[in-house]
C-alpha cells in the first residue's frame, strides 16, 4: 500500500522530469513540464531523497513471491548504479521496468540518471519500506514478481 502511494505521488514529477518530454508536441506534457520548472514547493520537498536502509553494494540474487508486481529497479545517483544501468538498459527497457531512485541529492541528479535509461520512468522515492519488506540492504537491483536480481 505504501509503495503504491509513493509511486502515485511521484508519477507527475517523473513524467515531467523525463528529458524526452521537454519541447514535446503534447500540450499536456508541456504543461506538466512548465509546472515542474516553476519549482513547486511540493517538488522541492522531495529532495534530497535519502534511504537510510539502502546503500550501493552487492546482493545475492534470490527468488521472491510477489504476484502482480510490475518490474521495478532500485538505483541511486552513484557510480555503481550508473554502471549497472548501462549494463542492464536493454533488459530494463524490454521489461518496461520503473526505476525508483532511492538516493538522490536533487532533481538534476535524477535527470542525469534518466539520460542513461532512454525514456524509462524514474521516480524519486525513499526505499526504506520496500527494503524492509524485501529484506534488502543494497542497490542497484531489479525486482520482479519472482526474483531479486543484480546480475553483477
State the pLDDT at residue 44.
Answer: 64
Is the whole model's pTM more than 0.85, yes or no? no
User: How many domains would you assign to the chain?
Assistant: 1
Q: In which domain, by residue range, is 69 found?
A: 2-149
Per-residue pLDDT of the chain (152 residues; tens, 9 = 90+): 444 433 433 443 444 444 444 443 444 434 443 444 455 556 668 999 999 999 999 999 999 999 999 999 999 999 999 999 999 999 999 999 999 999 999 999 999 999 999 889 999 999 999 999 999 999 999 999 999 999 86
Q: Pairing between strand 138-139 and 55-56?
A: parallel
How does 68-96 read in b/e, with b if 16+ C-beta sit within 10 Å? eeeebbbbbbbebbbebbeebeeebeebe
Q: Residue 119: its pLDDT value, please?
A: 86
Cell of 32: 506538466
User: pLDDT value at position 143?
Assistant: 98
Amino acid at each position: 500500500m505504501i509503495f503504491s502511494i509513493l509511486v502515485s505521488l511521484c508519477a507527475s514529477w517523473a513524467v515531467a522530469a523525463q528529458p524526452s518530454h521537454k519541447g514535446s508536441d503534447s500540450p499536456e506534457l508541456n504543461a506538466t513540464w512548465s509546472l515542474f520548472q516553476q519549482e513547486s514547493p511540493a517538488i522541492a520537498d522531495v529532495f534530497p531523497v535519502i534511504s537510510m536502509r539502502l546503500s550501493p553494494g552487492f546482493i545475492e540474487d534470490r527468488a521472491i513471491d510477489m504476484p502482480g508486481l510490475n518490474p521495478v529497479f532500485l538505483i541511486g545517483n552513484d557510480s555503481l548504479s550508473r554502471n549497472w544501468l548501462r549494463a542492464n538498459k536493454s533488459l530494463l527497457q524490454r521489461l518496461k521496468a520503473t526505476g525508483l531512485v532511492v538516493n538522490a541529492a536533487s532533481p538534476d541528479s535524477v535527470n542525469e540518471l534518466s539520460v542513461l535509461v532512454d525514456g524509462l520512468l524514474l521516480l524519486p522515492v525513499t526505499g526504506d519500506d520496500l527494503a524492509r519488506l524485501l529484506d534488502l540492504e543494497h542497490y542497484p537491483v531489479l525486482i520482479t514478481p519472482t526474483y531479486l536480481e543484480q546480475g553483477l
